[in-house]
Structure 1
């Protein structure tokens, strides 16, 4: 018997890592544009700043870099349970790029971090495939990442994701909410479902309270399985919002925006309100995806708690000048969004007021 011990015997397979790197190369390359500088085998990714008007649609006079990081929380547990790994990568990208979008920033590039019990090259390739798909939706490049095999930290079958996005905004075009005033209109862009928030409560209701299984098909969810509904990826709003800001780059008619994540509408909209303004929302002004009434009834969960935890069908909010609300709504619909006028800004104390 050999007296030597290897890294593989300790739980880490270097050969599997090499195979994984080979598998993900095409996914990364599918996100590259002319700004990306190829560096095969490099220790870091290279990204060229704007320098040639012929190459890039927009050049910045006073660019400010914007950075965000996030994960997808316990949604990864559902992906592991379902053995479906090609959509949570979209969620990962969405959580960061939608956040930077609210100040008017365009995403430039993205990095990912994958940690798991045991490196399965095919599994990681599926995760990266989803991340690359999200990057294409957000018009940003996936220029690198890290995969960590940690059998002593994660249980068999477990994994986690983290993402890091860098974007850019013209300094004097930064959207901060300072221009919000009474009379402004609040537009809501519909979500695709839970997105990536509230999953601890959703999992508790579905699998502990209701004792459901991932493959259960429910009439209340339009005949889809519980797993399909819960793993619906987060909507990425980058392309229509960037188009909108480009269209109204002279008239500053978008006064504030919010990505509706943890804390829901009541927790996120106050972050962009002046202290002397309220956002008055009419709850009946938009339809709710069926997962929300299902969870509310199955819990049961009080409606105030639902609005405090979940997005309730609105994934992104714009506060806009009243005279431009209709034209902004029409443009966003033309670019593929489902838009509802969900409220107005009034004088107040910096909070959200929900009305029936």
Structure 2
């Protein structure tokens, strides 16, 4: 069997990264003095007007991706709303910000009331738990753009952080440790590859029997496992954000550990990750085997069981791990130039995975 890749399934990360680097110059031409950080972090950061430079607003925007196709096949939509809010809140968290408000964008060919109601139920449930207001959105009916029954859900969340409390990785230094916090499955990334691996077409009659399969290592169907909502790390970490020993945070989404940790590593530092330091959940191994996917491709596409990473002094990381009662010390920071991130060990064997800018 020909090994499956993300690019062959329709998502070319390398090409997308190249395009984003080219268009960055146009985006940066719009920056005013109130923009406090450059592109590339987990949110855009601007000075909050009327606060005399003491507070900053952080904004992030994203979608749930092709996970919505599996939700449509199974008719389970509420979790998609939760996914979107949790993904957004985690991005703000990575900048040290608390969520303030959220707006959503729902687009479809023809409005199905039960679908939209379920999505809004999920979003309001997640927003309410975070103390974040869902203040509005847009519902677009676009026949000809979307096929019947298909939809997309995107959202923008805005949060606030004291300017002196912005977390952007610049304080990361050699000797710091990396704590990896467990994910709840795939979260919201890699579903185009998973659908290709499982042979899913989007046709409910074809896909439902495939998704009803219960793997021997689980008591849940593949469909349930794949629709597990994106975990939110805000409740775990919000009380630790102002600790000066905390130096960096990373939400592990598309691009995996290398792609997301590299966004916050300062010049002169490198994060080295030991992939044997945590147990990779069996769902990822199931996907890898079924698709004959290379270990390096798996680590570039999926979170591999680590949904969020915390970087700080050894005393901070050990105290946090003990207080949370979960997570693994998965790596450390050394003094070095490029590559910014190295992952080795575990299923990678003798292979060494680096961030894409250094590859």
Superposition TM-score, scaled by structure 1 size:
0.77
Q: Are 1:294 and 2:286 counterparts?
A: yes
2:163 to 171, 194, 197: 171
Deviation at 1:214, TM superposition (A): 4.5
Give 5+ residue unaligned stretches, structure 1.
1-48, 52-58
Question: In structure 2, what is the Cα distance between the partners aligned to 1:171 and 1:65?
Answer: 9
Deviation at 1:104, TM superposition (A): 0.3
Task: Verify the 8 A CA contact 1:282 1:354 in the aligned structure 2.
Answer: yes
Task: Verify the 8 A CA contact 1:60 1:170 in the aligned structure 2.
Answer: no
Q: Which has the larger radius of gyration?
A: 1
Q: Are 1:88 and 2:80 counterparts?
A: yes
2:302 to 296, 310, 313: 310
Question: In structure 2, what is the Cα distance between the partners aligned to 1:154 and 1:208?
Answer: 19
Per the alignment, in what secondary structure is the counterpart of residue 194 of structure 1?
A: coil
Q: Which residue of 2 aligns with 1:353?
A: 342
Q: Which residue of 1 aligns with 2:177?
A: 185
Residues 75-120 of structure 1, C-alpha deviations (whole Å, 9 max, x = no match): 1111111111110011111222111111101110111111112212
Task: Verify the 8 A CA contact 1:138 1:236 in the aligned structure 2.
Answer: no
1:283 to 271, 275, 293: 275
Deviation at 1:208, TM superposition (A): 5.5
1:54-133 paired onto structure 2 within 5 Å: 62-133=54-125
Per the alignment, in what secondary structure is the counterpart of residue 168 of structure 1?
A: strand
Q: Which residue of 2 aligns with 1:218?
A: 214
1:319 to 272, 292, 311: 311
Q: Are 1:273 and 2:273 counterparts?
A: no
Deviation at 1:240, TM superposition (A): 1.7
Number of residue equivalences: 292
Task: Verify the 8 A CA contact 1:244 1:332 in the aligned structure 2.
Answer: no
Residues 253-276 of structure 1, C-alpha deviations (whole Å, 9 max, x = no match): 110000001100011101111121
Per the alignment, in what secondary structure is the counterpart of residue 166 of structure 1?
A: strand
Q: Are 1:233 and 2:229 counterparts?
A: yes
The Cα RMSD (Å) is 2.2
Per the alignment, in what secondary structure is the counterpart of residue 136 of structure 1?
A: helix
Task: Verify the 8 A CA contact 1:137 1:239 in the aligned structure 2.
Answer: no
CA distance 1:332–1:60, shift in 2 (3 Å): farther
Superposition TM-score, scaled by structure 2 size:
0.77
Task: Verify the 8 A CA contact 2:215 2:221 in the aligned structure 1.
Answer: no
Q: Are 1:243 and 2:239 counterparts?
A: yes
Per the alignment, in what secondary structure is the counterpart of residue 129 of structure 1?
A: helix
Give 5+ residue unaligned stretches, structure 2.
1-47, 346-359
Task: Verify the 8 A CA contact 1:217 1:223 in the aligned structure 2.
Answer: no
